[in-house]
Amino acid sequence: MHGMSKHVYIITGASSGLGAALSRELLSEETLVLGISRTVNKEIQQLAQDLKANYAFIAADLTQVERIEATLREIIESMDSSKVETITLINNAATVTPFNPIEACSSDEIVSSIQLNLTAPILLTSSFMKETANWTVKRVIVNISSGSGQYPASSMSVYCSSKAALNMFTKCVAMEQKKEGNPVHLLTIDPGMMNTGMQQIARESDFELAAYFRKQNEEGHLAKPETVARNIVLEISRHRDGTLA
Ligand SMILES: NC(=O)c1ccc[n+]([C@@H]2O[C@H](COP(=O)([O-])OP(=O)(O)OC[C@H]3O[C@@H](n4cnc5c(N)ncnc54)[C@H](OP(=O)(O)O)[C@@H]3O)[C@@H](O)[C@H]2O)c1
């Protein structure tokens, strides 16, 4: 049904913040953007209609990790690979909570944070590779990281460690892919601090770093997600076309 799109983008967390900005930036007649999140963003659907762009929303809660493989399989099976030139998976969905010393975090919030931030991108990566193994197209996986993956912070141990692990995961799989005939190109991108719902949660939470996040906002240090999205799209095309040209 989406047979005419040359460039396919699967974006998690596409309903708001950076994921929504990336979706808007990528919509065109030549692309197919598949946005995965729990809630729909009707403005993006409308924009896609106005631009005659190919867009589909896939409702999924990525903390429900046992469903991820089947969800990705359905997405890939719905496409005609002979019409596709490139396919890119952008693992963007994440949660910054819980904000607490680890002994004050509930097991449920720890588990669901790790599932969304780490297990889901790992499973999506694995499934993406399996399902597109026979595709003779350029394949790219972008994992959205954070400075928090490098710099430890009190009351953010679950987020920081999930991002550090995602960085390491990406490096390991990139090493595996070097030996492949049609390797999947993997990269991590740290988008920097942006004015999104995630930052608002950080500013409004009751923990020691909230004042730091408020100050960053007041002093104008938060980038617009649209600006970051534009740079990420350029980086993806440079990486994709540069390495494989
Ligand atoms: N904002 C920053 O300053 C900053 C800095 C460094 C790195 N980052 C990274 O940038 C990425 C985007 O962050 P953001 O600021 O745009 O975040 P955001 O505004 O909070 O948006 C998060 C997105 O993830 C989706 N999501 C949340 N829980 C989900 C679930 N269980 N299943 C499926 N989707 C889910 C949300 O959609 P639904 O609620 O509809 O599911 C939403 O679309 C993240 O990886 C973040 O770690 C952000």
In a domain, 151, yes or no: yes
Q: How far is CA 204 from CA 13, 70, 151, 212, 217, in A?
A: 21, 37, 21, 11, 12
Residue 111's Cα: distance from chain center in Å? 19
Distance CA 229, CA 242 (A): 19
In a domain, 209, yes or no: yes
pLDDT score of 4 more than 70: no
List of E strands, 60-209: 86-91, 138-144, 184-189
Determine the distance separating the centroid of ligand 1 and the alpha carbon of 233, expressed in angstroms. 17
Q: What is the pLDDT of residue 1?
A: 45
Q: Tell me the sheet residues that pair with 194.
A: 223
Q: What is the pLDDT of residue 35?
A: 98
Distance CA 178, CA 228 (A): 28
Q: What is the pLDDT of residue 242?
A: 75
CA quadruple 71, 73, 75, 78: dihedral, nearest 10: -140
Q: What is the pLDDT of residue 5?
A: 83
Q: For the segment 35-60, what is each residue's pLDDT rounded down to a tens digit?
A: 999 999 999 999 999 999 999 999 99
Distance CA 101, CA 117 (A): 18
In a domain, 1, yes or no: no
Q: For the segment 111-121, what is each residue's pLDDT rounded down to a tens digit?
A: 999 999 999 99
Determine the distance separating the centroid of ligand 1 and the alpha carbon of 82, expressed in angstroms. 32
Average pLDDT over residues 103-117: 98
| Of the candidates 187, 92, 175, the residue with the CA atom closest to the CA atom of residue 139 | 187
Averaged confidence pLDDT in the chain: 96
Give yes or no for a contact between 156 and 209, defined as CB atoms under 8 angstroms apart.
yes
Write the DSSP symbol of residue 55. Answer: E
Which of these is catalytic: 9, 55, 151, 159? 159
Ligand 1 atom at minimum distance from 201 CA: 20
Residues 6+ apart with CB under 8 A from 233: 22, 25, 26
Determine the distance separating the centroid of ligand 1 and the alpha carbon of 117, expressed in angstroms. 9
Whether residue 159 lies in the annotated active site: yes
Q: For the segment 187-241, what is each residue's pLDDT rounded down to a tens digit?
A: 999 999 999 999 999 999 999 999 999 999 999 999 999 999 999 999 999 988 8
Q: How many domains does the chain have?
A: 1
Ligand 1 atom at minimum distance from 12 CA: 34
Give yes or no for a contact between 196 and 94, defined as CB atoms under 8 angstroms apart.
no
Average pLDDT over residues 77-104: 97
| Of the candidates 191, 145, 185, 141, the residue with the CA atom closest to the CA atom of residue 168 | 145
In a domain, 2, yes or no: no
Q: What is the pLDDT of residue 19?
A: 99
Percent of the chain scoring above 90 in pLDDT? 95
The alpha-carbon radius of gyration of the chain (Å, integer) is 18
Q: What is the pLDDT of residue 49?
A: 97
Q: For the segment 148-194, what is each residue's pLDDT rounded down to a tens digit?
A: 999 999 999 999 999 999 999 999 999 999 999 999 999 999 999 99
Please name the residue that has the structure tokens 């970051």.
228
Domain hosting 217: range is 7-244
| Of the candidates 201, 183, 190, the residue with the CA atom closest to the CA atom of residue 167 | 190
Residue nearest to atom 40 of ligand 1 (CA): 39
Q: For the segment 129-150, what is each residue's pLDDT rounded down to a tens digit?
A: 999 999 999 999 999 999 999 9
Ligand 1 binding residues, C-beta < 6 A: 12-19, 37-39, 61-63, 92-95, 116, 144, 146, 191, 193-194, 196-199
In a domain, 99, yes or no: yes
Average pLDDT over residues 104-110: 98
Distance CA 125, CA 111 (A): 20
In a domain, 200, yes or no: yes
In a domain, 133, yes or no: yes
In a domain, 229, yes or no: yes
Q: Which two tokens stand for residue 176?
A: 């595996």
Find the CATH number of the domain harbouring 94.
3.40.50.720
pLDDT score of 96 more than 70: yes
Ligand 1 atom at minimum distance from 63 CA: 31
Determine the distance separating the centroid of ligand 1 and the alpha carbon of 9, expressed in angstroms. 17
